[in-house]
Each structure stands twice: as structure tokens, then as C-alpha cells.
Amino acid sequence: MTCGISAIGDVCKSQCETRGLAFETRFETDVDEWLTGDQHRVEQILMNLLGNAVKFTEEGFVRLSLSQREAGSDKVFLRFEVSDSGCGMSKQMQQRLFKPFEQENVASAQKYGGNGLGLSIVSSLVNMMGGSIRVESVEGTGSIFTVNLPFNRSGAQIDLPDLQNVGPLHALIVDNDATEREYLSTVLDHIGVRNEQTANGADALLALARAERENDSFNICFVDWRMPGMDGIETTRRIRELCREDMIVIIVSAYDHYQANESARAAGANLYITKPVIQSSLYDLFAAMVGERFEEKTEAQPSFDFSGRRALIAEDNAMNRMVMQSIVESLGLACDMAEDGQIALDRFTASKPGDYDIVLMDIQMPNMDGLEATRRIRASAHSDARSIPVIAVTANAFNEDIAKSLSAGMNAHVSKPIDKKILAAAMEKAFKEMHA
């Protein structure tokens, strides 16, 4: 769930950036990573509400907030709140808002376009899912749409190995926003990382010095980019002056800018990540960083052996095909190559059941791209159409690309340049899910 929300947020963030608006995704409580529900409808609802928020806001912000309420042992309600500082709407309009073809007035329809159907559809979708929707709005100030939707807890949970076996982690969260601090703290608790919080850079330096004196040093700091007084960059510089070189400093920001990333690194940060920080990506991050730093303490890398399996690889670039084939064969699989999506689709549909165990799919290809090829594979009459794992292999690792891959029916996404271990882990996970 959090991955999906993060991807939707990224799409909206880019629309906001184009219009000069601030965008924020905010997790107000911890949210289960895995929930059972209709993801497609959730995406439709949110994309519609967020699209409207961007459309009707000329300056200021758009925000997506998310919180989870328990509703019994196997059920939860998620509350999505889309707020903006846009033009708002009259009381009369609020009352007829969810009826088809309703718009504020002719001038508004001419200015902003649209057919007035969007919110009527949103309302229907919410009702179909057994949820509720309401709006609060003040003309000239902005609007808040609140949607509550029920979900079942999924039996599937991420199988996280214990991070503690590679070394003790002690994290300091530095953020002036108490909600953000609490959220990150809960996420860290879940993955077994001991953590403390401070509300500003000066207190962070004091906490770091105290921990050092007490022989209980921190080894990771999460520093918010934008804080009043000492900002994230300055705080990072001071941490670097104060602490050992192996302190990991991660700057966390709601803004995804290349320049910001550069400033963060110039100040001495190891990483620059964007909010919302989600549990699985944070875990991956730690596993990678800790694995690297405590390499001598880790056990031997798991060896993957997929002997006896066969992969269908769709890749249009000859050099990339060569590299893919070498890596995939080194993992024990036999390979068939396809030079574009159409050829991959033809090979798959002409194959006998069980001929292929997995498809590795480039996205950007001539004739038919990987997204379309995957959709057609999934929709085909082949007996393996729904079950065969399809992994996207592409140079684009941006969240919207990952979201597009997943919504086309792919199981996972691996970035180029191909890392053998990452590809192997993705394949193993896909095989496990297929047999589950």
C-alpha cells in the first residue's frame, strides 16, 4: 500500500512542480505495507482528487495525507485526505458536488475545463468499495476531501531478516515536525532499529555528544531538509564535524531535486531520500548500507541457482542483450531472446505451458514496448498468462516508471545497470510468490 501511495504521490509531485506548487505526502500513522483491496480503484480515486486539487490551485500547496484505523483483527480503514490551498468552493456547490455534470458556474467551467463528471465517478467508486467521502471547503482558501476506505489485512507480509545480525543500529531522527518524527520512529521500530528523536539541529548535536559520552553512539542520522533555524544542510555539516566518519547521515526531504541532492552530498550526507519514507525501501536501504559497512560480519552471500528454468528476455539493444544473457545464464537459467515486445509476446503465446518460468522485460522497445507486451501476455489465452512472473528491467528507476510497470501486470522492477544479486533476489521472490 505504501509503495502504491508513494508512486501516486510522485506523479502528483511532478504535476505540482510544473505549476510551481508545493506537494507533500504525509503518513500520519503507520500504515500496513500489505493490504487486500482494489488498488486500481484506489488509484482512480486518488488520481482524480489530486488532479482536481492541482487544477484548482494556482499557488500554495497540495497535500495527500494517509492514516490507518484498526477495525477488528483482520480489517482496517484507511483515511486519505487530499487538501489544497486552491480556490475552494461555495456551500451550495459542496452540496451538489458529487452529482454528475456539476460545476461551480459557467466561468469556472470555462476557466478550468472538465465535464464535471470526475467527482461523481469518485463518489461512485468510493460507495462501491463500502467507503465514504466528504468535503470541507472555504471559498478562496482551499478544500479538503476526506475518503475512508475499508481494507482487509493481507496474510502476506514482507519477510524481513533480522537486521541486528549485521550490527547494532542506533538512529537519530531530526525533524521539527512531530508527526513526521513519530511516523519515521514507528517505521524504524518495525524494522528493529533503535531510535531517538530531536526537534531541531542544535538538540541533535547535543544528543549525539551525549550518546558518545555514554558509549552508546548513534550510527545513523535522519535529518529533515527544511527546518527553521539550523536547516538540514547546516545540521549535516555540524554532524560531520562532530561525529566519526562512519556516521551515516541521510537527508530526508519532501522535495526531489537533483540540485538538492547535490547540496546534501556536498554537506557530507551519504544519502538524500524523499518523503514519504516507506518501510520496505528503508529496510532495503539499511540492508544495503549495513551489509556494505559490516561486510566482515555478514554470512556468505546466498548463492542462487535457478538451474532447469528458462527465461524469456525481451531487450532491443544488442549490448544489453549480451549482458543480460550472461548474467541470467550465470544464475543457471536457459535463455531465449526477443528483440522487442511483439516478438516476446509471440514467443510466449506460441510456447507450451511451462516452457518459460519467467519473463525479463525491457520497457522502451520499438514496435511494442514492454508495458503493452506485458498487458497482452496477461490477457492472452495461454495457461501461464496470469501466473508467469514478469520482471521489468529498465534504466528508469523512478517511482512513476515502477508504478506503470506494476499496473501493466509486472511483478517487480529491476534497474539497469543490472546487478546480479538484485536480479537474482527479485527472481527468487517472484518464484516464491508464484508458488504461494
Neighbours of 294 (CB within 10 A): 14
Among 17, 28, 339, 372, binds other proteins (CB under 8 A): 17
Residue window 110-149: x/- pattern of binding to other proteins, with contact defined by CB under 8 A: ----------------------------------------
What is the C-alpha separation between 44 and 41, in angstroms, rounded? 5
CB 42, min distance to other proteins, A: 25
Residue 357 has φ and ψ, to the nearest 5°, of: -100, -20
Within 8 A by CB and 6+ apart from 168, the residues are: 194, 219
Among the listed residues 128, 139, 395, 433, the single contact to other proteins using CB under 8 A = 395
Selected binder of other proteins within 416, 422, 425, 434 (CB under 8 A):
416
Measured N-to-C along each axis, helices 279-293 and 178-190 cross at an angle, to the nearest 10 degrees, of 60
Q: 202 to 231, contacts with other proteins by CB under 8 A?
A: none
DSSP 247-304: -EEEEEES---HHHHHHHHHTT-SEEEESSP-HHHHHHHHHHHHHHHTGGGSPPPPPP
Q: What one-character DSSP code corresponds to residue 415? A: E
Determine if 394 is a binding residue for other proteins (CB under 8 A).
Answer: yes
Q: Least separation, in Å, of the C-beta of 318 and other proteins?
A: 6
Total number of residues that touch other proteins (CB under 8 A): 23
**Residue 246: helix, strand or coil by DSSP?**
coil
Q: Does 18 bind other proteins (CB under 8 A)?
A: yes
Spatial distance between the Cα atoms of 417 and 369, rounded to a whole number of angstroms? 19
Which grid coordinates belong to 309? 528454468
Q: Which of residues 317-336 bind other proteins (CB under 8 A)?
A: 317-320, 322-323, 326-327, 330
- Among 418, 422, 425, 434, the residue binding other proteins under the rule CB under 8 A is 418
Nearer to other proteins, 220 or 273 (CB): 273
Give the binding range for other proteins (CB under 8 A) out of 143-151, 153-161, 174-182, 416-424.
Answer: 416-424
Determine the interface stretch with other proteins among 127-135, 247-255, 267-275, 389-397 (rule: CB under 8 A): 389-397
Reading the block at residue 256, the C-alpha cell is 526531489
Q: Return the residue of 113, 228, 308, 417 that touches other proteins, per CB under 8 A.
A: 417
Question: First and final CA of the chain: distance in angstroms?
Answer: 20
Rounded Cα distance, 406 and 413, in Å: 8
- Smallest distance from other proteins to CB 315, Å: 9
What CA–CA distances, in Å, run from 258 to 102, 182, 390? 41, 27, 31
Count of H helices and E strands in the chain?
15, 16
**Taking CB under 8 A as the rule, does residue 14 contact other proteins?**
yes
Instruction: Print the binding letters for residues 249-288 with other proteins: x by CB under 8 A, - otherwise.
Output: ---------x------------------------------
- Of 96 and 420, nearer to other proteins (C-beta) is 420
**Nearest distance from residue 180's CB to other proteins, in Å?**
25
Alpha-carbon distance 217 to 209, whole Å?
8
Question: What are the backbone dihedrals phi and psi of residue 330, each rounded to the nearest 5 degrees, phi first?
Answer: -65, -15
Which residues lie near other proteins (CB under 8 A)? 14, 17-18, 258, 317-320, 322-323, 326-327, 330, 362, 364, 394-396, 398, 416-418, 420
